[in-house]
Amino acid sequence: TLYKNNVDQYSTYRTPDNRTTVPNDKVDWNTAWVDYAPTEYTTEKILQNKKADPSDATQIDNFNSVGERIDRTSSTGTYQFDDRNRPRNPMGRTGLTGRGRLYFWGPNHAGDPIVTRWCRDAQKNIIWRQDESGWFKKVLEVVTIQRRDNQELALPGGMVDPGEKAFSTLIREFKEEAMNSLEIKDISKSSANCIEKLFEKGRQISYVDDPRNTDNAWMESTAWHFHDETGELTRDLKLSAGDDATKAMWTPVDRHLKLYASHSKFLEIVVNRLHAYW
Ligand code: RP5
Ligand code: MG
Ligand code: MG
C-alpha cells in the first residue's frame, strides 16, 4: 500500500527546514505547478557525514538497483529523476529538495516490527468493545516506543544499516529500542526465547510516509507483523526503552491512536487482518 504525501502531516511536524507548503491537490507530479519553488535543504550533519551519500547525486551510478551495501531499489517500482539528475520522490511533491536529514539520495530503507497481542483485564480476560456498526470486537495492543527526537509514539523501528537485511533490522531495532539490548547485556533467557519464537511467524506488511521525506530522498519501510494469539509468548517479555527511545510500552489500539509517520496505517492493516476493534 502506498500513501500519498500528506500535507497535514508535514505542517504539524516542526522541522527547522522551512518546507514549502504543498496543497494536497498539488502533490502529484502530473499536476502542473509552474511556480513550484521548494526549499533546498540538507542538514550540515548529513553533509559532513562520511557514511552519507556524496552531495553530488550524479556520482552515484547504481540507482534503482541493489548495491553491495545499499539497496537503492524502491518498493514503488523504478523511480525517475529531476532536471538535476537527482532521484524524484515517486509519491509526489514534498515542498523540500535536497536530502533534509536523510543519508541517501532516493529511497532510505527502514524496518518496523509490529508486535501485537489481545488486550486483557486484570482477570486475564480478553477485552471486547462494541464498534460503530454494533459488532463486538477484541481490542489489540501493540508494542510502541516514544521517540527521543520528537516525543511521538511510534513502532520500535529503525534504519537498515549498510549490508543489512530489513528483516534483521527490525528485530535488532526491537531489541535496541524496546528491550534496551545496547545496555542490558543479559536480556533474560525467557525474553530472548520469546523474541525468537515470535519473529519466526511474522508476516510482511508493506511500505511508509515519513516527515523527513523530500522530493529527492524518502523513507521506505519493510514492516512485519508478529501476533501473539494466546499472550503466552510475550508473557515474560520485559520491555525497556533504549537507544532512540525514551519509553517502551504496550499500547491499546484503536483508530484514535496517533503514531509517527505512517505507523497508524500499518496498524489499520493489522486490525483488518485480525478483525480487531478499531
Ligand atoms: C520511519 O522512521 C520508519 O517507519 C522507521 O520506524 C523509522 C526509522 O527511522 P529512525 O527511527 O531510525 O529515526 O519512517
Ligand atoms: Mg534505532
Ligand atoms: Mg528508531
- Whether residue 237 lies inside any domain: the answer is yes
- Whether residue 13 lies inside any domain: the answer is no
Task: With H, G, I as helix, E, B as strand and everything else as coil, classify residue 222.
Answer: strand
Domain that holds residue 123: 110-274
C-alpha cell at 232: 503466552
Closest CA to 262 of 222, 214, 204, 227: 222
Q: What is the pTM of this model?
A: 0.88
Name the phi and psi angles at 227, rounded to 5: -115, 130
- Whether residue 73 lies inside any domain: the answer is no
The position carrying cell 501473539 is 228
Q: CA-to-CA distance for 64 and 186, rounded, in angstroms?
A: 41
Which ligand 1 atom sits nearest the alpha carbon of residue 111?
5
Q: CA-to-CA distance for 43 and 46, rounded, in angstroms?
A: 5
- pLDDT tens for residues 192-240? 777 777 887 777 776 678 888 999 999 999 999 999 999 988 988 899 9
- Whether residue 103 lies inside any domain: the answer is no
Write out residues with Cβ below 6 Å of ligand 1. 110, 112, 154-155, 157-159, 208, 210, 219, 221, 244, 261
- Whether residue 54 lies inside any domain: the answer is no
Return the DSSP state at 25.
G
Residue 191: give its domain's CATH number. 3.90.79.10
- Whether residue 92 lies inside any domain: the answer is no
Mutate to test the pocket of ligand 1, among 149, 151, 159 (most ligand atoms within 8 A of CB): 159
CB 203 within 8 A of CB 225: yes
- Whether residue 239 lies inside any domain: the answer is yes
Separation of first and last alpha carbons in the chain = 19
State the ipTM, two decimals: 0.96
- pLDDT tens for residues 100-128? 999 999 999 999 999 999 999 999 999 99
- Whether residue 21 lies inside any domain: the answer is no
- Domain count of the chain? 1
